[in-house]
């Protein structure tokens, strides 16, 4: 078994203060990730975790809550009692009203004068980001600290700028860690390794050889009790503006000079700024929005989006987006990037497909000209893998070509040694590494690019296209690709 690399782990003391300490994200992601880091021996012995919320609890009540609610979300083998106990010893709880600065003295007292880095993780709604930062500053807790902001950071360019301006009054950009958990996924890291650690792909990674690129992030889940939030958000804001555009920027970026945070983020920013703007007529042609209707997921009937709790009657919020975008630079001019994401689709899959051009002339007959015959598929989840598809001769007489695959399944090769996105990202915050966090200018560029789509949808009389749950989205998504003589991977053959 290959040992997991612990390069970059940092053993300086820290206090990790978790606002929204009894919330869904704390329960499902953040506390399980901190436990994993603790279990893996990657946290400093004197690293402390302080849960903060309005719920009336003391530390022992909070520990009970953690036992009941967090433990079931910890992945992997059974939890060793001694490791679990030593994890709980790190945790304390402070009850405060995040919007009331006068209540922060309790937090200041709990943090005391202990040395070490302070990290404030805001796993709360964005409406609390500015009040919390202001209250931390008034309580004298902001200086030298790090602040972690969860998405959604705003609702559009304007609201995200307002938050960034206000937070920026108190924290410098190098103290601000904007989370996009996709950047913490092992497979996304692997994309960087694949592109910049090998000489094999780089010469082909350009318009001369690439015909199109597809990025899919499909989910089987629906809105999962988040109907209220989701109905005001929709797939464009929830997934495209952040996760999908971040994936696109990593796929399309120029090789950075180093893996230094700003070297990487500068290159991603160049891509985001080079996204071809979409005028209204192009939005209507090249952006498809859909909404799920009743159907079945793994043979279990599921309801329509409209019937989900918290969704407004007649809501036009999209649960599916497919779109075509181009990157206007020398490397990519004219190459279509097709992005799609949706809830209640036929499968859970996140993958990037790089379609290379067919041979310019086939001495071997028409089978060598088949689109999609030379392709690299990078599967991010589930089962991270890289598949290289090529053509080979069918055995026997004649020269009939057939698609074959070269597969690299990372879990088989590295045998389970993977780290969950949140664990990596939290360790990066603690260690002060910013490369996997979104810089303000990147975020602005992404909002700026999606803004005309939001605006156009606000004025369109047409509704999102319906699709049955358990399918791959509305027919218009297939038609979009068909107009470019291509199709989504599941539509082949
Ligand atoms: C979150 C979105 O950012 O990403 C959710 O808010 C979505 O709606 C989730 O379900 C998907 O993340 P993952 O890691 O499960 O692909």
Tell me, yes or no, whether 437 lies in a domain.
no
CATH code: domain of residue 75:
3.40.50.720
**Whether residues 95 and 146 fall in one domain:** yes
For the segment 197-254, what is each residue's pLDDT rounded down to a tens digit? 999 999 999 999 999 999 999 999 999 888 999 999 999 999 999 999 999 999 999 9
Are residues 193 and 55 part of one domain? no
Indicate whether 426 belongs to any domain.
no
- DSSP-assigned beta bridge partners for residue 146: 119
Average pLDDT over residues 177-194: 93
**Nearest Cα residue to atom 2 of ligand 1:** 238
Q: Does residue 290 lie within any of the structural domains?
A: yes
Are both 111 and 57 inside the same structural domain?
A: yes
Condensed to tens digits (0 to 9), the pLDDT of residues 411-441 reads: 888 876 678 899 999 999 999 999 999 999 9
Which residue is it, tokens 């939030």?
229
Of 109, 131, 150, which marks where a domain is finished?
A: 150
Contact between 362 and 368 (Cβ < 8 Å): yes
200 and 271: one domain? yes
Looking at the fold, whether 194 and 93 belong to one and the same domain comes out as no
Give the torsion sign (CA, 158, 273, 473, 454). Answer: positive
CA–CA separation, 437 and 78 (whole Å): 31
Q: Which of 162-176, 207-221, 355-369 has the lowest mean pLDDT?
A: 355-369
According to DSSP H, which parts of 91-240 are helical? 105-111, 129-138, 157-170, 186-196, 227-231, 234-235
| Residue of 239, 292, 305 best suited for mutating to test ligand 1, as the one with most atoms within 8 Å of CB | 239
pLDDT greater than 80 at residue 133: yes
C-beta separation of 111 from 141 below 8 A: yes
Q: Which residues are within 8 A (CB) of 398 and not within 5 positions of it... i.e. 6 or more apart?
A: none
Nearest to 246 by CA among 440, 448, 441, 442: 442
Give domain status of residue 429, yes or no.
no
Spatial separation of the C-alpha atoms in residues 121 and 426, rounded to whole Å: 9
Confidence at residue 4, expressed as pLDDT on a 0 to 100 scale: 61
User: Tokens representing 166?
Assistant: 């206000």
Query: Residues 101, 188: one domain?
Result: no
Q: Would 317 be classed as within a structural domain?
A: yes
Pairing of strands 287-293, 465-468: parallel
pTM, entire model: 0.94
Tell me which residue has its CA closest to atom 13 in ligand 1.
182
- Give pLDDT, residue 77: 66
- What mean pLDDT comes out for the span 456-470? 92
* CA 293 to ligand 1 centroid distance, Å: 20
d(CA 407, ligand 1 centre) in Å: 27
Q: Is 405 annotated in the active site?
A: no
Q: Are residues 98 and 236 in the same domain?
A: no
145 and 194 in a single domain? The answer is no
Task: Tally the domains of the chain.
Answer: 2
In a domain? residue 480: yes
Active-site choice (11, 69, 181, 243): 243
Q: What is the CATH number of the domain that holds 403?
A: 3.30.360.10
pLDDT higher than 80, residue 488: yes
Query: Which one of 23, 222, 243, 421 would you pick to mutate in the ligand 1 pocket, going by the greatest count of ligand atoms within 8 A of its CB?
Result: 243
**Can you give the C-alpha Rg of the chain in angstroms?**
24
Q: For residue 136, what pLDDT is reported?
A: 96
- Which domain, by its residues, includes 135? 14-150
The answer to the question of residue 427 being in a domain is: no
Share of the chain above pLDDT 70, in %: 97
Share of the chain above pLDDT 90, in %: 81
Pocket of ligand 1 (CB under 6 A): 181, 219, 238, 350
Residue 242 CA: nearest ligand 1 atom is 3
- SS3 state at 342: strand
Average pLDDT over residues 314-325: 97
Whose Cα sits closest to atom 4 in ligand 1? Answer: 239
**Is 264 within a domain?**
yes
Going by pLDDT thresholds of 50, 70 and 90, the confidence category of residue 9 is: low
Confidence of residue 3 (pLDDT cuts 50, 70, 90): low
Sign of CA dihedral 303, 342, 419, 39: negative
Task: Looking at the structure, tell me whether residues 105 and 207 fall in a common domain.
Answer: no
Mean per-residue pLDDT over the chain, rounded: 93
Q: Residues 112, 224: one domain?
A: no
* Same-domain pairing of 64 and 205: no
Atom of ligand 1 nearest to the CA of 226: 8
82/211 same-domain check: no
Q: How confident is the model at residue 1 (pLDDT cuts 50, 70, 90)?
A: very low
What pLDDT was estimated at residue 32? 96
Protein residue with its CA nearest to atom 15 in ligand 1? 219
């Amino acid at each position: 078994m290959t040992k997991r690399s612990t390069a970059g782990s940092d053993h300086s003391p820290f206090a990790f203060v978790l606002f929204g300490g009894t919330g869904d994200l704390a329960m499902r992601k953040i506390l399980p990730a901190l436990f994993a880091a603790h279990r893996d021996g990657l946290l400093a012995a004197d690293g402390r975790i302080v849960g903060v919320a309005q719920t009336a609890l003391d530390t022992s009540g909070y520990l009970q809550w953690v036992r009941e609610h967090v433990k079931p979300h910890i992945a992997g083998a059974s939890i060793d009692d001694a490791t679990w106990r030593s994890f709980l010893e790190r945790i304390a709880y402070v009850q405060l009203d995040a919007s009331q600065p006068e209540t922060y003295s309790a937090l200041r007292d709990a943090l005391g004068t202990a040395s070490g880095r302070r990290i404030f993780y805001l796993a709360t709604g964005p409406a609390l980001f500015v009040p919390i930062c202001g209250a931390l500053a008034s309580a004298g807790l902001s200086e030298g600290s790090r602040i972690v902001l969860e998405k959604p950071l705003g609702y559009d360019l304007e609201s995200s700028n307002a938050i960034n301006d206000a937070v920026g009054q108190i924290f410098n950009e190098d103290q601000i860690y904007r989370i996009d958990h996709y950047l913490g996924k092992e497979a996304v890291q692997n994309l960087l390794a694949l592109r910049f650690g090998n000489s094999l792909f780089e010469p082909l990674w350009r318009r001369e050889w690439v015909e199109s690129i597809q990025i899919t992030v499909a989910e089987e889940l629906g809105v999962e009790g988040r109907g209220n939030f989701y109905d005001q958000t929709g797939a464009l804001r929830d997934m495209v503006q952040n996760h999908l555009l971040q994936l696109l920027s990593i796929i399309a970026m120029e090789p950075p000079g180093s893996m230094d945070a700003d070297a990487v983020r500068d290159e991603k920013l160049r891509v985001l700024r080079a996204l071809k703007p979409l005028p209204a007529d192009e939005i209507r042609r090249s952006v498809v929005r859909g909404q799920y209707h009743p159907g079945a997921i793994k043979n279990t009937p599921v309801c329509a989006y409209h019937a989900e709790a918290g969704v407004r009657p007649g809501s036009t919020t999209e649960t599916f987006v497919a779109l075509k975008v181009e990157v206007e630079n020398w490397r990519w001019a004219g190459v279509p990037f097709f992005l799609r994401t949706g809830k209640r689709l036929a499968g859970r899959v996140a993958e990037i497909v790089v379609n290379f051009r067919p041979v310019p002339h086939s001495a071997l007959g028409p089978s060598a000209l088949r689109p999609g015959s030379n392709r690299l598929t990078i599967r991010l989840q589930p089962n991270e893998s890289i598949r290289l598809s090529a053509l080979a001769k069918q055995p026997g007489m004649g020269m009939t070509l057939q698609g074959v695959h070269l597969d690299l399944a990372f879990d088989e090769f590295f045998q389970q040694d993977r780290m969950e996105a949140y664990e990596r990202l939290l360790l990066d915050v603690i260690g002060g590494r910013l490369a996997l966090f979104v810089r303000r200018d990147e975020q602005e560029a992404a909002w700026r690019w999606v803004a005309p789509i939001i605006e156009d949808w606000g004025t369109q009389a047409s509704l999102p296209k319906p699709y049955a749950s358990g399918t791959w989205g509305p027919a218009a998504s297939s038609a979009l690709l068909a107009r470019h003589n291509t199709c989504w991977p599941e539509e082949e053959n």
